[in-house]
């Protein structure tokens, strides 16, 4: 098992205090904190190796290119893909928009169906809304159950509409729900659909094998998996990527340029126009090293333990907890409300005790509304969190219930 007390020492920000109270960070679903090894790897790049990649013949450029491409290889191994199938982007949102523009504009025509679900983050909903608007097509969403899980019967029923593209999440950023991706991909492929998976919330927390899962594309973001902001990736099956047009035009994504036309570079460079986020990619590579050292099985088991502890503590105090109660069916996320208190008030009260949680609709309004709420409080856990962190949150929440007369 992960020794979270030991892990905490690797994260400088967790040492800061507020009025003598230590910083309890329970918002990793929004963005994880960064270990010192990631911070140092990026600093060392700027101090010792900074130059552009894929261009220079001098030592610094060669070394920068090596570090950049080594990070791509690390990410490919992490997801069990090939380096040429892993395209660096700014984040998962850009990855999803890349597919919507480059593939979607070719694939979708008038009256075609695009299928998604009520579990989705706005980043895996809005790009498809824009696509169907451009193409005069249809967007259909599979419902969720009262428990906040995907209604598989409704998903399969909507597959009868023969969607050309299916966009689904690996893990809900609100309820932590883990849909049966492998089964959904298989069912969608049987209908001839291309499957795009939003892996932003899932990849940092569990082992992911794109080959065995079978998806055609998967969006990844670095900042939720101990890496820096501004770096992400798109996994795509080679056969799709080779036949898709570039998303952006400019330097490095070309082989030959003439005034009237150009030819495109090989994968993955065809989709990486201009100077990339070199330091971000290097930092992401170091973050992957850190996670590999911990072991993704251990990461998953640690979060399951924390969720069980949090679910029991919140439920017994009369708080409304959303999503599945079984830790095997979800990641380390718990969304909740206290009757009579707005989630923003809850978050503000916790902040007074130096405890950070999220409040609001979490960029997933259709999901939150489908569960009968306008907003929710959300605590999310990662490798540096302990049961004591949860106890501190629960103590503060119980205090809020008492002073505001909401205790049951």
Residues designated as active site:
363
CA gap 200, 197 in Å, rounded: 9
**Secondary structure element (H or E) that encloses residue 141, with its range:** strand 138-142
Among 135, 106, 352, smallest CA distance to 240 is for 106
CA gap 376, 336 in Å, rounded: 6
Nearest 10 degrees: Cα torsion 92, 246, 268, 167: 40
**Secondary structure element (H or E) that encloses residue 355, with its range:** strand 355-356
**Ordered DSSP codes for 33-85:** ---HHHHHHHHHIIIII-S-SSS--SHHHHHHHHHHHHHHHHHHHHHT--GGG
Geometric angle at alpha carbon 365, from 163 and 183, rounded to 5°: 40
Q: Which residues are CB-neighbours of 272 under 8 A, at least 6 positions away?
A: 87, 88, 252, 253
Q: Name the residue with tokens 């599945």.
A: 324
Q: Which residues are CB-neighbours of 374 under 8 A, at least 6 positions away?
A: 361, 368
Between strands 86-89 and 113-117, the pairing is unpaired
Q: Give the CA radius of gyration of the chain.
A: 22
Is the CB of residue 271 less than 8 Å from the CB of residue 246? yes
The token duo for 290 is 């850190």
């Amino acid at each position: 098992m992960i020794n979270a007390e030991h892990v905490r020492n690797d994260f400088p920000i967790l040492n800061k205090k507020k009025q003598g109270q230590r910083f309890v960070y329970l918002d990793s679903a929004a963005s994880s904190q960064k270990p010192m090894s990631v911070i140092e790897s990026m600093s060392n790049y700027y101090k010792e190796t900074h130059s552009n990649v894929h261009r220079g013949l001098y030592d610094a450029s060669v070394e920068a290119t090596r570090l950049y491409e080594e990070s791509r290889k690390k990410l490919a191994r992490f997801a069990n893909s090939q380096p040429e199938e892993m395209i660096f982007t700014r984040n998962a949102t850009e990855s999803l928009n890349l597919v919507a523009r480059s593939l979607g504009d070719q694939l979708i025509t008038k009256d075609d169906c695009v299928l998604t679900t009520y579990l989705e983050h706005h980043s895996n909903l809005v790009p498809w809304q824009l696509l169907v608007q451009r193409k005069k097509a249809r967007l259909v969403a599979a419902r969720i159950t009262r428990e906040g899980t995907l209604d598989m019967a409704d998903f399969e029923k909507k597959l009868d509409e023969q969607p050309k593209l299916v966009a689904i999440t690996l893990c809900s950023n609100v309820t932590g729900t883990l849909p049966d991706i492998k089964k959904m991909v298989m069912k969608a492929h049987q209908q001839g659909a291309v499957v795009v998976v939003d892996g932003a919330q899932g990849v940092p927390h569990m082992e992911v094998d794109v080959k065995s899962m079978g998806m055609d594309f998967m969006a990844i973001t670095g900042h939720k998996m101990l890496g820096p902001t501004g770096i992400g990736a798109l996994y795509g099956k080679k056969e799709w990527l080779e036949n898709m047009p570039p998303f952006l035009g400019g330097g490095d994504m070309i082989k030959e340029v003439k005034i009237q036309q150009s030819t495109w570079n090989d994968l993955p460079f065809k989709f990486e126009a201009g100077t990339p986020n070199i330091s971000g990619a290097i930092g992401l590579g170091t973050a992957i090293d850190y996670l590999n050292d911990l072991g993704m099985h251990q990461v998953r088991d640690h979060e399951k333990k924390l969720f069980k502890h949090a679910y029991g503590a919140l439920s017994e105090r009369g708080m409304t907890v959303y999503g599945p109660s079984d830790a095997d069916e979800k990641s380390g996320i718990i969304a909740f409300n206290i009757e009579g208190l707005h989630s923003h008030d809850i978050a503000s009260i916790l902040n007074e005790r130096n405890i950070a949680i999220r409040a609001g609709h979490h960029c997933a309004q259709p999901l939150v509304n489908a569960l009968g709420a306008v907003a929710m409080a959300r605590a999310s856990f990662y490798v540096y969190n302990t049961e004591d962190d949860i106890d501190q949150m629960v103590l503060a929440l119980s205090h809020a219930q008492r002073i505001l007369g909401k205790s049951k």
